[in-house]
């Protein structure tokens, strides 16, 4: 039986990278991506669909992402799907599927010296996507992150 686990994503960050370190000192960062898909319905009506995905970046690449990326940054992520499970504070078993980033490519132009001091401009799709995110997804992601921080911190 053949197996293949490869993910290619292009989207915008919905928040700044979340950098932390394992007890062994290894850097790990979560990149929260909004990936948009535009399509036409049977009635020829244009619709937008947004998928929110967490990509996990490790080691030096995590530190570089934390240094140069910010909310709204367009990125291309290449990696693989990875699942993990844990037990939350209430004793409930939780699980998630994330993208284990093997390569992150920054898209768009780097900030010029004159704009480095200015606040970062957000890409419109990421801003709209963040507003469309359902509160249940947001709550689930926040709980997942809190649990992850507790088990790794």
- Is 90 exceeded by the pLDDT of residue 35? yes
- pTM over 0.75? The answer is no
Listed by start position, the domains of the chain span 7-114
Q: Give the chain's radius of gyration (CA, Å).
A: 17
Residue 41 — φ and ψ, nearest 5°?
-80, 175
Burial of 131 (0-12, 13-18, 19+ CB in 10 A): exposed
**Angle made by CA atoms 54, 26, 95, in degrees to the nearest 5:** 35
How many other CB atoms sit within 10 Å of the CB of residue 74?
A: 17
Q: How sure is the predictor about 132, in pLDDT bands with cuts at 50, 70 and 90?
A: very low
CATH fold of 7-114: OB fold (Dihydrolipoamide Acetyltransferase, E2P) (2.40.50)
């Amino acid at each position: 039986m053949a197996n293949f686990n490869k993910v290619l994503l292009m989207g915008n960050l919905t928040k700044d990278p979340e950098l932390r370190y394992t007890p062994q000192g290894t850097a790990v960062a979560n990149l929260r991506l909004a990936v948009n898909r535009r399509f036409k319905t049977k009635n020829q009506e244009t619709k937008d669909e947004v998928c929110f995905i967490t990509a996990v970046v490790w080691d030096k690449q995590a530190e570089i992402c934390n240094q140069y990326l910010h909310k709204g940054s367009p990125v291309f992520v290449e990696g693989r799907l990875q699942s993990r499970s844990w037990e939350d504070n209430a004793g409930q078993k939780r699980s998630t599927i994330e993208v284990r980033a093997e390569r992150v490519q920054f898209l768009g132009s780097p900030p010029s010296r004159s704009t480095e001091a200015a606040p970062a401009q957000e890409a419109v799709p990421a801003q709209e996507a963040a507003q469309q995110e359902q509160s249940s997804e947001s709550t689930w992601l926040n709980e997942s992150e809190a649990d992850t921080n507790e088990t790794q911190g």
